[in-house]
Structure 1
Amino acid sequence: MNRKTKMLVLGLIIFILVISSILLGMHFTKPNNNDDSGISFPKAPAKQPIQNVNADIVHRERDWTTNFTHDAAIIKADGWYYAFSTDYMIGASPTPGIQIRKSKNLIDWEFVGRVFDQVSMEAWEWTTGNTFWAPNVIEMNDKFYLYYSVSSVGKRNSYIGLATSDSIEGPWTDEGAVFKTKESDDYTANAIDPDIVIDHEGQPWMVYGSYFGGIFITKIDKVTGKLVDPTDEGTLIAQRKNMSYGIEGPEIMYNPDTGYYYLTVSYEWLEDTYNVRTARSKSITGPYLDYNHRDMVDTTDESFDTGNKLVGSYAFENSDGWLGTGHNGLLEEDGNYYLTHNARAGEDIYWSHLHVRKILWTLDGWPVVSPERYAGEKEQKIKEENLVGHYEQIHLPRYDDSLQTSAELTLLPKGKVENKEKSSWELTGDNTLKLSIYDPGVAPDDYWNYSLKVIPAWDWENWNPTIVFTGMDQEGTVLWGKKKLEKNH
């Protein structure tokens, strides 16, 4: 072999070694996006992706499932979850009566029927309303108490009524008015959107209200289910500046692990900018303060910034998204908490669905919700290597209630964040992702510091399992994330 040939062979060997080193380095630095070892994912919610808009079912109630659900309240009874909701449909006037759906798993819903055939004469004469709004159901004294609303659109001519039954599916007996308001009365409340909550001492309360004077809470008699004082509109616990600042749909839940009552309300307009906010108090009658210690009774121009936003209009990739994500319900079962809410399809905002989301709790005792609808997922041990990969992330700013779209985020091995100088992440033992994003001159002390809960979930947009995170930064702004796992991985 001559010298020239030897040099060519040596050069070729060196070239191969260099390329091999580069490829080997890429192998060890490229994130393994599909490492789901040790994770038990939920199963597919259905055999095929579910249509958000389906004109074929408009007049087939048996096929409605979650379609046309609005302002749903949820209760567990006789081994079933029941959702009672506003009279609503698309393409025709809704049949009055309060819609009833039931499910064994909070995923598959079947239409049961209605509570009534028509609005009572008393409610009609008071309001001229001919449909029912925003019901709520609770079990007391070995029977069921159903609270409902009838109202004139845009006026305080409103009526909260009560019905009772020995069976969750009826028949129901109308017990008449619980509280009524008129444009000409001395009250400031609007008598709609009732929610009954029992405090930790066993006393039932009714929290209610919509727009106008704000949200009020008043005592309920344990036996009759009506107001202890029929003339008492109660204590004001949440309010915004005026009718241009929407607030309605209150619910309250108590968490014995934190010792707080959590108030949820909906801000803005039901067809698009609707969003759910929360605040908490050690007393059921308030004051309710948010993450930034702002009181929910806020009549200033800054009330858009009050309340932690739990869910708002959003769109992940491969989806037209969801708008009108408001008027929530709350459910607790064996220490597991769930939030339900309206959601209007991005393809056609008049198609309103029931969404159910698992509530997770931050280290400092705040509720946050999964960015994906519930599909039976359970909290479980997540490993650091499971988190490495590509994500879609969505911020839910309090000051902007428009549709929020996703952006890219990539978590690299060893706590690095792709294309984010000086940024980092780590997973603590309680499935909390600590994410620190360097944003000089914008973030407080140049860093956005997120505390995020991690859980397996079902990716409804891409129809495959995934890993999600949800939580807040140091200013109480929510960040959602969804890992971009490949199908059939």
Structure 2
Amino acid sequence: MNHPRKPPEQRLFDPSSFEDETTWRTLNTHDPGIFKDKGCYYTFSTDAMYREKGRPPFRGGVQVRRSKDLIDWEWVGHALDGVPEPAKAWTGADGLWAPDVIKLQDAYLLYYCASRFGTRQSFIGVATAACLEGPWTDLSEVIKTAEGDDLKVNAIDPNVVFDKEGRLWMTYGSFFGGIYIAELSPSTGKLLHSGIGTLLARRERKVREGAVEGPYIVYHPQFDYYYLFVSYDSLFTNYNVRAARSRTITGPYIDYSGHVMTDTETADPSQIGLKLMGGYRFSDAPGWLAPGHNSVLEDNGAYYMVHHAREEVNKHCFHLHVRPIVWTEDSWPVVSPERYSGEPLRIISANEIAGEWEWIIHDPRADAIVDAKSLSLRPDGSIDTDTGSINHGWRVVYQEVVELQLSSHNFGWESQEELWTCRGMVLPAWDWERERTTLVFTGLTDTGIAVWGKQIRQLDAK
């Protein structure tokens, strides 16, 4: 059988590495943008680090890391020497946030933003280089916003993407007025037209002060959909990733339940957007808090979600996570419960699947880490539950696609019992909590709730 290999050891909350950025690897990666170039993968991320009281501030300039396999990451350095002067003068920022990189003709463009936390005094700029590792030359402003102006949007979190016709767009924005998209010039990489562009997503101000940010758009040619990923809620506590899709890059973006991502009137705010993941905890290890602000990599037809997450034991320590994305039968993305470790997709037999599993239901209403619940998949197709319901069961639909019948009461839902039909894929994975190979499940219920599973013990294991 094809199993993932053991990844390099990852030491969590390791004070010995705080002062030496060359040892960080995944540590201190926040809001990562991903780009593949000449056989290497690069992340560009926010100027952020774990800081104890009394320590000097970390210098800015965009953090850069490199990997040959998406697993073992090494520190490259800083793309820029601090905050460029125009952005510094406008915002007073000490560091740069949420960068994104594209290649335009023969040059690379690095989009960055500067702001003061919780304000709209913000600046998106762009730099250029002939080589991805620099040196970078600042080209200054793409768009800026100010406290008290009438633009509504907040000029942070740029993501730059080509549409299927080859036109260039930037989606951006955070909190306040929501997420927008504006067309860019193919020659300059700056705004093609004046104005703020088209609204793609927003939330009511009274809901976490309108917390929607970190937009990222991916076009999938097989499905002919543009997928919009955003992060909801507080980046320190209950951050979570949501998705919607559209036939056109400028929207409207519709979620699994048919809600438009700009709807602040007719639907429960917690139900807008397909929630792909939030904070979670499997047994035998601390959990991960507030995963979010993702980018997406397409690599020879395989897709990966690249995001940060915080250690449960210390929310000020955050790491880079890379997870495989697979697609449901009706063309929705779902992500692996475990981080990528080089595992190839393969057909999984029913005999391999039977065993003890832990399950996580990504409740869209959850404001805290979700704990895994234990349910066993029996060889006869039944599921061992504490309710004794005859409606529970599982079956292999075809190849690695599995269907489950689950009850909401098994996962602590206090509302009237719901019986879910859930379809998803079983994948080989590395169990980062137990440090061994395993199988995982990722899929959606018929009501659009993301379900994760991880096999703890195979039926014939001793």
TM-score (norm 1): 0.89
Aligned-residue Cα RMSD (Å) equals 1.9
Gaps of 5+ in 1: 1-38
TM-fit CA distance, 1:378: 1.6
TM-fit CA distance, 1:438: 5.1
TM-fit CA distance, 1:75: 0.2
Q: Does 1:421 align with 2:389?
A: yes
TM-fit CA distance, 1:121: 1.7
Q: Does 1:120 align with 2:84?
A: yes
Secondary structure, counterpart of 1:327 in structure 2: strand
Q: Which residue of 1 aligns with 2:404?
A: 435
Secondary structure, counterpart of 1:382 in structure 2: coil
Q: Which amino acid aligns with 1:129?
A: A
Matches of 1:447 and 1:454, distance apart in 2: 21
Aligned pairs for 1:163-178 (under 5 A) are 163-178=127-142
Q: Which residue of 1 aligns with 2:340?
A: 374
Q: Which residue of 1 aligns with 2:185?
A: 221
TM-fit CA distance, 1:71: 0.4
CA contact (8 A) 2:202 2:210 kept: no
CA contact (8 A) 1:85 1:100 kept: yes
Q: Deviations along 1:109-162, whole A, 9 cap, x unmatched?
A: 000000111212211111111210000001110211100000112111100000
Secondary structure, counterpart of 2:270 in structure 1: helix
Q: Which amino acid aligns with 1:472?
A: L
Aligned pairs for 1:284-433 (under 5 A) are 284-300=249-265, 302-419=268-385, 420-422=388-390, 423-433=392-402
Q: Which amino acid aligns with 2:30?
A: H
Q: Which amino acid aligns with 2:449?
A: T
Q: Choose the corresponding residue for 1:273, options 215, 235, 238.
A: 238
TM-fit CA distance, 1:473: 0.5
Q: Which has the higher strand share?
A: 2
CA contact (8 A) 1:330 1:337 kept: yes
Matches of 2:417 and 2:67, distance apart in 1: 48
Q: Which amino acid aligns with 2:398?
A: G
Matches of 2:342 and 2:314, distance apart in 1: 27
Q: Which amino acid aligns with 2:239?
A: Y
Q: Which amino acid aligns with 1:94?
A: F
Secondary structure, counterpart of 1:350 in structure 2: strand
Q: Which residue of 2 aligns with 1:456?
A: 428
Q: Which residue of 1 aligns with 2:450?
A: 478
Q: Does 1:238 align with 2:201?
A: yes
CA contact (8 A) 1:275 1:401 kept: no
Q: Choose the corresponding residue for 2:154, options 179, 187, 190.
A: 190
CA contact (8 A) 1:454 1:470 kept: yes
Q: Which has the higher helix share?
A: 1
Q: Which residue of 2 aligns with 1:78?
A: 38
Q: Which residue of 1 aligns with 2:29?
A: 69
TM-fit CA distance, 1:414: 2.1
Secondary structure, counterpart of 2:88 in structure 1: helix
Q: Choose the corresponding residue for 1:51, options 5, 11, 26.
A: 11
Count of residues in correspondence between the two structures:
448
TM-fit CA distance, 1:444: 9.7
Matches of 2:64 and 2:82, distance apart in 1: 15
Secondary structure, counterpart of 1:326 in structure 2: strand
TM-fit CA distance, 1:437: 2.3
TM-fit CA distance, 1:324: 1.7
Gaps of 5+ in 2: none
- Structure 1 residues 259 and 213: CA distance shift in structure 2, 3 A: same
CA contact (8 A) 1:465 1:485 kept: no
TM-score (norm 2): 0.94
Matches of 2:2 and 2:127, distance apart in 1: 43
Secondary structure, counterpart of 1:126 in structure 2: helix
CA contact (8 A) 2:349 2:399 kept: no
Matches of 1:444 and 1:96, distance apart in 2: 51
Secondary structure, counterpart of 1:328 in structure 2: strand
Matches of 2:58 and 2:225, distance apart in 1: 39
CA contact (8 A) 2:336 2:442 kept: yes
Matches of 2:333 and 2:408, distance apart in 1: 26
Matches of 2:330 and 2:323, distance apart in 1: 20
Q: After the TM superposition, list the runs of 4 or more consecutive aligned residues in structure 1 that deviate by more than 6 angstroms.
A: 439-445
Matches of 2:414 and 2:405, distance apart in 1: 14
Q: Looking at CA atoms only, which structure, 1 or 2, has the larger radius of gyration? A: 1
Of all paired residues, the percent bearing the same amino acid is 43
